[in-house]
């Protein structure tokens, strides 16, 4: 039996193309930078960066064809900012490419085990 596929694995598989990662970095800066700039400047208009950050991240999936993600998922899934932050930590450490390979191997192993398991009944 293969190891279960986690939401992190699925996230990694949807974030494997360089262009999409660049747009996600811009989105990440907007998500955290907008509120910080609003606080530092006492100008609420900076919060528009925060509000638009999910749309920018979702655009990366459409522009770079990096596995589909809905605008709703990109803007309302609570774990996304944490996953994106984790992704950039792994990129900075030079470990993200191996994480993508690991997730792909895991999905392939899971797919193989499903094919080899006889249907019940």
Residue 116 confidence (pLDDT): 64
Residues making up the chain, counted from first to last = 121
Residue 49 lies in a domain: yes
pLDDT one-digit tens code per residue, 22-77: 999 999 999 999 999 999 999 999 999 999 998 999 899 889 988 766 666 666 67
From CA 32, how far away is CA 54, in angstroms rounded?
A: 12
Assess if residue 85 is contained within a domain: yes
Question: What is the extent of the structural domain holding 60?
Answer: 7-116
How many separate domains does the chain show?
A: 1
Mean pLDDT, the chain, rounded, equals: 88
Domain membership of residue 102 (yes or no) is: yes
Does a structural domain hold residue 38?
yes
**Position 48 in a domain:** yes
pLDDT computed for residue 34 by the predictor: 98
Q: Which of 12, 9, 14, 10 is nearest to 91 (CA)?
A: 12
Q: How far apart are the first and last CA of the chain?
A: 19
3 state DSSP class of 11:
helix
Residue 105 pLDDT more than 80? yes
- The two structure tokens encoding residue 111: 């797919």
């Amino acid at each position: 039996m293969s190891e279960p596929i986690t939401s992190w694995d699925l996230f990694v598989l949807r974030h494997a193309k360089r262009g999409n990662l660049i747009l996600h970095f811009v989105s990440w800066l907007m998500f955290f930078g907008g509120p910080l700039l609003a606080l530092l400047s006492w100008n609420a208009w900076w919060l528009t960066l925060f509000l638009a950050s999910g749309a920018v991240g979702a655009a990366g999936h459409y522009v770079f064809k990096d596995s589909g993600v809905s605008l709703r998922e990109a803007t309302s899934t609570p774990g996304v900012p944490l996953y994106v932050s984790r992704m950039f930590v792994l990129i900075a450490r030079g470990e993200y490419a191996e994480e993508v390979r690991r997730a792909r191997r895991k999905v392939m192993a899971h797919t193989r085990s499903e094919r080899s398991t006889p249907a019940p009944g």
